[in-house]
């Protein structure tokens, strides 16, 4: 027989949290005042700080910290964290905070310092998920610097990849002007740098150098001037377009730029090593050496083959490429059966899900017809894009060597399990970058 009578479980946690949240920075019932960097003053409650943070609990132990005996505690925080300290403290009261690319790093640093584990992990995951962000709010540079110092290996790696493969976005970010000389110098030496062309890189570097003219010689030496399109060079040299020091430096390099694009490669090779870094292509997305390949209607597409031809020009060497791509895999049919009472039907003898990309060089036409194919080879780099909140970013690069008169293949460009991540608005987007690689020889 039930003698307890009616029962009901009350859940007023939301009301309780609202009440606690309302105590934030209220003088009523507060028993402590935090003064941060001698500028920010906040009324707090010892109990809430001690319960929410092990570090605060230790600091407020009067036997360990003499300052905690009074009603005013002085704290010192990093300047970048100061503006976000109230949000951090409010989180201790409410368990709620709005994360964005502007505050995630500071809140992670504060939660790391004060051992607030849930907030720290949430900030880490937020940064990992938002490395790819539009230029105006992209923080890959500062997040990379912080991740390296804080030992966040995965975040460090993702930021470094994003910076190298989406430099046009990073250049527009608020972090670009604050990039440190060491990482910038390393970045400029990379051949896998994805950027529109070398002239865009020069303009970005000129902007970075504006408050640092003393770094000009060091940084400008990393640019690959023979790779600069002559028409873009001409635009850069417009009167008044550059600071005097940069204009003079560019003028000294301009003769080689025009020579490299007007003379046969064998003539340039008499005075320059074409295998040296200045003559090595980066992953340029300008139309002269690359082609975008948008693939619409992906959802309804069958296992069909797509074909594409493209032309690239590297100095005086014009290359024709032929590509075939199976976005969803192969379906190979060997014969068609018919019956006098039925329509014909195809017999499928082989089928797979491999997104195979095949590439061949179908034409290689140097200005000098005596030029030997032995002096250069070809590579094709495929830039794979993902769409993040309406913006397309390079998230993977795959490269293959393509022999003269032969064919090269990437067996599975995008594995089936990952393919949906590369489709947005029923479209897949690739960029094909054709590269010429000069090889050592007695003469070119």
- For 147-158, write each residue's pLDDT tens digit: 999 999 999 999
Handedness of CA 365, 444, 406, 428 (dihedral sign): negative
Rg of the chain on CA atoms, in Å: 30
CB contact at 8 A, 295 and 267: no
Please check whether residue 116 lies inside any domain of the structure.
yes
Please check whether residue 360 lies inside any domain of the structure.
yes
State how beta strands 423-424 and 427-438 pair.
antiparallel
- Asked if the model's pLDDT at residue 43 lies above 70, the reply is yes
CATH number at residue 124: 3.30.710.10
Provide the 8-state DSSP code for 328.
T
Give the mean pLDDT of 286-304: 94
Q: Residue 401 has what pLDDT?
A: 95
Task: Name the residue range of residue 102's domain.
Answer: 16-129
Q: Residue 399 has what pLDDT?
A: 97
Q: pTM for the full model? A: 0.88
Please check whether residue 292 lies inside any domain of the structure.
yes
Confidence band, pLDDT 50/70/90 cuts, at residue 1: low
Please check whether residue 395 lies inside any domain of the structure.
yes
Please check whether residue 8 lies inside any domain of the structure.
no
**Strand, helix or coil for residue 21:** helix
Give the mean pLDDT of 178-198: 96
Q: Which of 209, 208, 197 shows the shortest CA–CA distance to 235?
A: 197
Please check whether residue 149 lies inside any domain of the structure.
no
Provide the 8-state DSSP code for 280.
S
Please check whether residue 402 lies inside any domain of the structure.
yes
E-strand stretches of 130-208: 194-195
Boundary-marking domain end, from 111, 129, 147 = 129
Boundary-marking domain end, from 91, 107, 129 = 129
360-392 pLDDT per residue, tens: 999 887 644 544 556 889 999 999 999 999 999
CATH number at residue 361: 2.60.210.10
Which two three-digit tokens encode residue 439? 């090889």
Q: What share of the chain is helix, strand, coil (3-state, %, to 5)?
A: 40, 25, 35
> In terms of C-beta density within 10 A (0-12 exposed, 13-18 middle, 19 or more buried), how is residue 195 classed?
buried
Give 147's Cβ-side CA count (13 Å radius): 22
77-81, 239-243, 371-375, 409-413: which range is least confident on average?
A: 371-375
Give the mean pLDDT of 260-277: 90
Q: Residue 444 has what pLDDT?
A: 45
- What value, to the nearest 5°, has the Cα angle with vertex 91 and ends 85 and 96? 135
Q: Which of 16, 17, 73, 63 shows the shortest CA–CA distance to 41?
A: 73
Structural domain count of the chain: 2
Please check whether residue 2 lies inside any domain of the structure.
no
Boundary-marking domain end, from 112, 129, 146 = 129
Give the mean pLDDT of 8-35: 75
Q: Residue 251 has what pLDDT?
A: 94
Backbone angles phi, psi at 258, to 5 degrees: -65, -40
CB contact at 8 A, 228 and 286: no
């Amino acid at each position: 027989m039930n003698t307890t009578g009616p029962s009901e479980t009350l859940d007023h946690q939301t009301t309780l949290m609202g009440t606690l949240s309302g105590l934030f920075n209220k003088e009523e019932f507060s028993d402590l005042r935090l003064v941060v960097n001698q500028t920010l003053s906040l009324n707090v409650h010892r109990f809430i700080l001690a319960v929410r943070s092990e570090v605060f609990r230790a600091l407020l132990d009067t036997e360990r910290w003499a300052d905690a005996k009074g009603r005013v505690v002085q704290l010192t925080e990093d300047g970048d964290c100061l503006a976000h300290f109230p949000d951090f403290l409010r989180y201790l009261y409410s368990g709620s905070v709005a994360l964005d690319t502007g505050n995630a790093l500071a809140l992670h640093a504060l939660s790391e310092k004060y051992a607030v584990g849930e907030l720290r992990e949430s900030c880490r995951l937020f940064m990992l998920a938002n490395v790819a962000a539009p230029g105006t709010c992209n923080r890959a540079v500062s997040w990379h610097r912080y991740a390296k110092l804080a030992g966040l290996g995965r975040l460090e790696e993702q930021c470094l990849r994003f910076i190298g493969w989406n430099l046009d976005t990073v250049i527009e970010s608020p972090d670009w002007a604050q990039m440190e000389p060491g990482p910038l110098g390393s970045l400029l030496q990379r051949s896998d740098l994805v950027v529109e062309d070398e002239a865009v890189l020069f303009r970005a570097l000129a902007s970075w150098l504006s408050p640092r003219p003393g770094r000009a010689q060091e940084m400008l030496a990393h640019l690959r001037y023979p790779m600069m399109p002559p028409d873009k060079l001409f635009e850069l040299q417009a009167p008044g377009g550059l600071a005097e020091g940069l204009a003079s430096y560019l003028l000294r390099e301009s003769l080689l730029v025009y020579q490299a694009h007007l003379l046969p490669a064998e003539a340039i090779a008499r005075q320059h090593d074409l295998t040296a870094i200045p003559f090595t292509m980066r992953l340029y997305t300008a139309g002269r050496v690359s082609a975008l390949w948008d693939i619409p209607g992906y959802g309804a597409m069958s296992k069909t083959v797509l074909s594409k031809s493209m032309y690239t020009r590297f100095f005086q060497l014009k290359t024709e490429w032929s590509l075939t791509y199976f976005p969803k895999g192969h379906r190979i049919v060997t014969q068609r059966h018919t019956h006098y009472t039925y329509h014909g039907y195809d017999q499928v003898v082989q089928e797979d899900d491999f997104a195979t990309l095949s590439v061949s060089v179908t034409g290689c036409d140097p200005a000098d017809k005596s030029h030997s194919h032995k002096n250069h080879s070809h590579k094709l780099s495929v830039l794979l894009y993902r769409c993040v909140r309406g913006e397309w970013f390079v998230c993977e690069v795959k490269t293959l060597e393509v022999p003269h008169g032969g064919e090269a293949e990437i067996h599975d460009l995008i594995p089936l399990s990952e393919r949906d991540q590369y489709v947005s608005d029923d479209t897949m987007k690739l960029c094909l970058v054709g590269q010429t690689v000069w090889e050592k020889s007695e003469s070119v």
